[in-house]
Amino acid sequence: MCGIAGIIARDGFDPQALIGMTHLISYRGPSGFGFAYAQPGADEPVEIVHNEDRFPAKSRPVVGLGNRRLAILDISAAGNQPMEIADGSYSITFNGEIYNYKEIRAELERCGHRFRTGTDTEVILRSYQEWGDECLNRFNGMWSFALWDRAKQRLFCARDRFGVKPFYYAVHGNAFYFASEIKQILAASAMPRIANQQNVHHYLEWGLLDFSAETFFQGIRQLPGGHWLKLDLSRPLTPSVERYWELRVEPLPELSVEDAVEEFRSRFESAVRLRLRSDVPVGVSLSGGLDSSAVFCQAKRVAPETRFETFSASFEEKAINEREYVAAVIASVAGIGHESYPQGPAFWKAIRSLIYHQDEPILSTGSFPQWCVMEDAKNHGVPVILGGQGGDETLCGYQKYRYFYFWELLRKGDPTIFREMMLWARNGTSFHVSLGSATKYLPGLLRGPFSLTERVSPAEFCSAFQQASSGLGAQSSLAARQKTDLTYSSIPTLLHHEDRMSMAHSIESRLPFLDYKLVEFAVNCAPSLKLRDGWSKWILRDAMTGTLPEKIRLRKTKLGFDTPDREWVRMGLSNGQRALWEAPKLRMERFLDPRRLSQECQKFLHQAPTALSSDVIFRTVSLELWAQVHQVS
């Protein structure tokens, strides 16, 4: 796990720019750093420097790769990056983990390759040497990397299937830049910091982040998950981007319930087993909910000799207090539990740091418990954390899926709908859902009273997006709706937060529920295996019989990393952020009318019947703070 950076400039670049953008994210890789420099020509050797800020022999290199390393596999100096294979044909800067690297390495050794490290980084290099671009289809993991192919004079970059690890890029002036974080490109390129109005609109109106290749900054793009990028030095510095993987919605061959549960169990066990591969301690982010508890208990089953440490966020508020569930899980497998205690004043004190690391506005106060959990893991010396992110989207854990499922049954005229509705009323999971988060699923004609932009934005900004649609409603099937969340509206945003909150504290976060083999099976198995007899995530609950404590396996409440959102937002608007909404001028005045925003904040503070919900109004605060922190106009 690392942070990456790079510059390609046909006329050469100042090496100090690459050094600066690499060290700007030192928290992503405290174990070491390095640089690779190259000149044009298939016979020109690549100069690699590790752990010193030394310039290359030729003063203005044309190709540069930078890396900050967090050592997880083969923590010796042999794993330093950038790395090249013995003959110098290929050099790479890599961020992530290839979980099945041992299996791929064994296959490559049978093909005649010889390895000098125990890293997955070298496995990528040798895989590319053996199979070229097609090597991506063999990897199971999370990654973003840039590989310099000296013979082809080509930069080959790729991002993992779901985009767990970030990859940003821009062409500015006469140079191409790429990086793990937007701030690196801004610092190295001196690009103007101008807000992208499409992303601002989708964020304010529907709470969407990372929904496309665009970012909040004009001119800076991200490589979408499941895509590769190529840049040929013999051509203009315009990258070509193509998809190499897509989550396909295609019903599986019919299986018996027993066989389907066994197949799911096998894939889930494999996903956890692969993610336990590490040369440093591995812990678990434990909320007490079904998903993170399943990951924890499965990890213990796979590695019974390991006494795992867990990290949880606890609250005094009864409605979101999950301590009893956390305690039950820890007791069942004799784990070592650690608790952090996020509170409102601490959140508002830390919010600018959160936004700095996020590079884009944060979506809610819910990022802070995750921040605290990762900080706690760092303080206890556990650099790898397993989490339950992705379980809801993969297995229909959210309330909305119930309605989408009922709609699908109704369209098909399936009489099962009556039985399911009755059993849902009796057994159904209860959810902690805000009105603000639910209204984004309303059709356009009904959204008027709930539209944030209609209430706080200038008229010209609203009119520019009158025809815009969120694409968040029901679709042709439940599986198609899951695909939307996994690739567009939910998981990309959650992964953005997951990566930034963990890497800010030099923690590698691993997510078994986003193992692509598990996702492909779970999304395409019969809806009745996910939503059944009134239960959500039925197949997971059944597969975990005997592994999970019954108190958790049959739990009907669902919270996750929640916060006392309303109280925290009220606290911020009443105190430290008052100057913001009372200001006569805002940095984001193109998108937020100060007078109208002030009116809405006062309605919220006075609990007016027509007031916006806390999570919706928080987006206005977050947007303006983002503009201030990153000096955006």
Q: What residues are annotated to the active site?
A: 2
Note whether 322 and 559 are within 8 A (CB).
yes
- For residue 572, give the nearest of 363, 367, 347, 361 by alpha carbon: 347
Q: Where does residue 251 rank: exposed (0-12), middle (13-18), buried (19+ CB within 10 A)?
A: exposed
What 8-state DSSP symbol labels residue 473? S
Q: What is the largest CA-CA distance in the chain?
A: 75
Dihedral sign, CA of 573, 578, 580, 585? positive
Q: Where does residue 460 rank: exposed (0-12), middle (13-18), buried (19+ CB within 10 A)?
A: exposed
As a whole number of angstroms, the distance between CA 318 and CA 622 comes to 27
Could you tell me where the DSSP H helices lie in 413-490?
416-427, 435-439, 452-456, 459-463, 478-484
Q: Which two tokens stand for residue 489?
A: 């509206």
Q: Which two tokens stand for residue 495?
A: 């992964």
Question: CA geometry: angle at 390 spanning 269 and 122, to 5°?
Answer: 65
As a whole number of angstroms, the distance between CA 254 and CA 357 comes to 46
As a whole number of angstroms, the distance between CA 501 and CA 369 comes to 10
Collapsed DSSP state (helix, strand, coil) of residue 33 = strand
As a whole number of angstroms, the distance between CA 138 and CA 216 comes to 33
The residue behind tokens 């690392």 is 2
Note whether 91 and 83 are within 8 A (CB).
yes
Beta strands in 471-608 (DSSP E): 508-510, 557-558
Dihedral sign, CA of 373, 375, 378, 383? positive
- Number of separate helices (H) and strands (E) present in the chain: 25, 20
The residue behind tokens 């992208």 is 196
- For residue 627, give the nearest of 596, 583, 595 by alpha carbon: 583
The residue behind tokens 């916060």 is 563
Beta strands in 214-254 (DSSP E): 221-222, 227-232, 240-243
- For residue 346, give the nearest of 316, 322, 372 by alpha carbon: 372
As a whole number of angstroms, the distance between CA 482 and CA 384 comes to 28
Q: Assign residue 40 a region: left if phi > 0, alpha if psi is -120 to 50, beta otherwise? A: beta
176 pairs with which residues across the strands?
8, 171
